[in-house]
Amino acid sequence: MVEYDLIVIGGGSGGLTAASGAASMGAKVALIDDQPGLGGDCLHFGCVPSKAFITAAKEVHAVYKGAAEFGLTVSGDVLFERAIERVKEAIDEIQEIDSDERFESLGVDIYRGKGAFKDEHTITIDGENPIKGKRIVISTGSRPNVPPINGVENVSFITNETIFNLDYLPKSVVFIGGGPVGLELAQSLSRFGSDVTVIETSQSVFKKEDHEIIPIVTKALEKELTFVFEADVTGISEQNGHKVVTYKVNGEEKTIESEAIMMSTGRKPNTDKLNLEAAGVNENKGYITVNESLQTNKSHIYAIGDVNGAFPFTHGAGMEGKLIVQNAVFGLKRKVNYGNVPWVTYTEPEVFHLGLTEQEAKEKHGEEIRVFKVGTDDVDRFIAERKKDGLVKVITDKKGHILGAHAVGEDSGSWMQEIVFAKEHGHKIGDISTVIHPYPTKGAILNQAADMYWREKLFDGWLPKVSEKYIKWVR
């Protein structure tokens, strides 16, 4: 039986980071993956294809919007198949970077198949070929959650794993669930020409965002999508070639017909085939329980990425993968910290999230927090581009240390990165005031938020009284 210093199960972002990092440090590493190519959900079904899809839809939308505003006429039909081709081209190009050959050249042994525990140190591949590891990392990701809706087993539907296999543009689509990824895809389909309805059980979408961000992005999306809130889907069926979704709102049963149904009802961890019981690894509803060092109850077994349920984003898994190299390979006890890790929802406008919301900050730090808000309608670049329906909101403690930062606006995921650096390195919001931004840029909105801090600190306190006396008597 081959023995390894580290076995990694799953070839997504976290697993690849852990495997390559450990191998580069001299560890003997095995990587087990059951997909045709490395890269995981992010490359094949998530981040990469969705952003290629979103960009294509945005370009189509810009054509129609520009034509309407400037008196031009647009003719012809959208070549939806070209959008799908662009998605596959992007996947293929990045797949070359995440090739087996590259990781093998780093010293990683790659095994194809499903990995499962035989005991707490032994892993089998497709039930055979056991290998042994001193330490093991579980990084098997997640898959679309399909709720037990009446009739679901008899009706075909789309998920984020199948949408990019479409060979035609559905005339109408009903999204069951309004999660962030679903909304990105819903807006894109609408821009290609589909009539899109989103059925959501809650009162709103973007429930994890700050309360002042939610209405702005919702209002923008309502121009392109139809929302049905506080609705429970009770059944789906197929009648006369159309999909029929039955749902209840305020106790009243309603139906809606569409050409396609998209399941956007969250994710579930890929842990059911791992035979965790054989290793004695604890889990909760499929998610593997880990401590702050990403260790399971078996100290030599770690879990990163979607399977631990802590921070289900690709960049979060990559960060955890780097931490694993330190902890699993070198035996350190570094703790993971998600407080300085942002996320972005790539609708238009984009939604940026870092740290605590205002409500969370009040619960944790009391009423002495400070909030600085700047609308995009107060920033010259946004005014010039006619992108005035946006907001930046920075939450600090009473001394100006950044607790959270949130934004909604075009490309906010790009121009908010400056505050990620500031928070990561312990800078106060006021420090951004001294950073010179070229005029006019969108990032200047953070300058203005920082200037608000100084105006409040300098001009609402004792300094104006002292300076007034100084000017009067000395100058």
> Tokens representing 124?
């089998």
Question: Which amino acid belongs to residue 129?
Answer: N
Max CA pair span of the chain: 90
Instruction: Quick: pLDDT tens for 290-325.
Output: 999 999 999 999 999 999 999 999 999 999 999 999
The stretch 359-385 carries a mean pLDDT of 96
H or E segment at 268? strand 267-269
242-249/252-258 β-pairing: antiparallel
pLDDT at 474: 62
178 appears as a binding residue in the annotation:
yes
Res. 471: pLDDT tops 90:
no
Q: Is CATH 3.90.1150.10 what the domain over 3-144+268-330 is classified as, yes or no? A: no
Burial 345-354 (b: 16+ CB within 10 A, else e): bbbbbbbbbb
> Tokens representing 205?
């979408």
| CATH class as words, domain 349-459 | alpha beta
pLDDT at 469: 64
248 appears as a binding residue in the annotation:
no
pLDDT at 468: 62
pLDDT at 250: 93
pLDDT at 455: 87
350-355/343-345 β-pairing: antiparallel
183 appears as a binding residue in the annotation:
yes
C-alpha dihedral (416, 419, 424, 427), degrees to nearest 10: 170
Note the pTM of the prediction, 2 decimals: 0.94
The stretch 240-245 carries a mean pLDDT of 92
DSSP reduced 3-state for 323: helix
> Tokens representing 346?
């790539």
Instruction: Mention every residue, 6+ apart, whose C-beta is less than 8 A from residue 160.
Output: 45, 46, 50, 144, 181, 182, 185, 264
Phi, psi of 403 (to 5 degrees): -100, -30
The stretch 87-104 carries a mean pLDDT of 93
Same fold, 3-144+268-330 and 349-459: no
182 appears as a binding residue in the annotation:
yes
66 appears as a binding residue in the annotation:
no
Least confident of 42-56, 421-435, 455-469: 455-469
The stretch 419-439 carries a mean pLDDT of 95
- The CATH fold of domain 152-266: FAD/NAD(P)-binding domain (3.50.50)
77 appears as a binding residue in the annotation:
no
107 appears as a binding residue in the annotation:
no
Cis peptide before 269 (omega within 30 of 0): no
Instruction: Quick: pLDDT tens for 273-289.
Output: 999 999 999 999 999 99
141 appears as a binding residue in the annotation:
yes
pLDDT at 463: 58
The answer to whether 47 touches 22, Cβ cutoff 8 Å, is no
> Tokens representing 153?
């087993």
463 appears as a binding residue in the annotation:
no
> Tokens representing 49?
């294809």
The stretch 33-45 carries a mean pLDDT of 89
Res. 460: pLDDT tops 70:
no
Angle between helices 180-192 and 47-70 (to 10 degrees): 40
Task: Return the ∠ at Cα 212 (arms to 209 and 213), rounded to 5°.
Answer: 50
C-alpha dihedral (411, 412, 417, 422), degrees to nearest 10: 160
8 appears as a binding residue in the annotation:
no
Measured CA to CA, the distance from residue 445 to residue 431 in angstroms comes to 14
The stretch 448-458 carries a mean pLDDT of 88
Res. 241: pLDDT tops 90:
no
Res. 454: pLDDT tops 70:
yes
Q: What share of the chain is helix, strand, coil (3-state, %, to 5)?
A: 40, 25, 35
pLDDT at 258: 97
Res. 199: pLDDT tops 70:
yes
Measured CA to CA, the distance from residue 356 to residue 339 in angstroms comes to 8
Domain ranges in the chain are 3-144+268-330, 152-266, 349-459
185 appears as a binding residue in the annotation:
no
435 appears as a binding residue in the annotation:
no
Instruction: Quick: pLDDT tens for 116-151.
Output: 999 999 999 999 999 999 999 999 999 999 999 999
Res. 392: pLDDT tops 70:
yes
142 appears as a binding residue in the annotation:
yes
Instruction: Mention every residue, 6+ apart, whose C-beta is less than 8 A from residue 34.
Output: 112, 113, 114, 115
The answer to whether 430 touches 400, Cβ cutoff 8 Å, is yes
pLDDT at 36: 85
Instruction: Mention every residue, 6+ apart, whose C-beta is less than 8 A from residue 193.
Output: 77, 78, 80, 169, 171
* CA separation, residue 26 to residues 44, 134, 286, 303 (Å): 30, 14, 33, 21
Instruction: Mention every residue, 6+ apart, whose C-beta is less than 8 A from residue 105.
Output: none
181 appears as a binding residue in the annotation:
yes
- The count of residues in the chain is 475
115 appears as a binding residue in the annotation:
yes
51 appears as a binding residue in the annotation:
yes
Res. 251: pLDDT tops 80:
yes
Measured CA to CA, the distance from residue 328 to residue 267 in angstroms comes to 27
End-to-end alpha-carbon separation of the chain, Å? Answer: 86
Res. 475: pLDDT tops 60:
no
Measured CA to CA, the distance from residue 61 to residue 223 in angstroms comes to 13
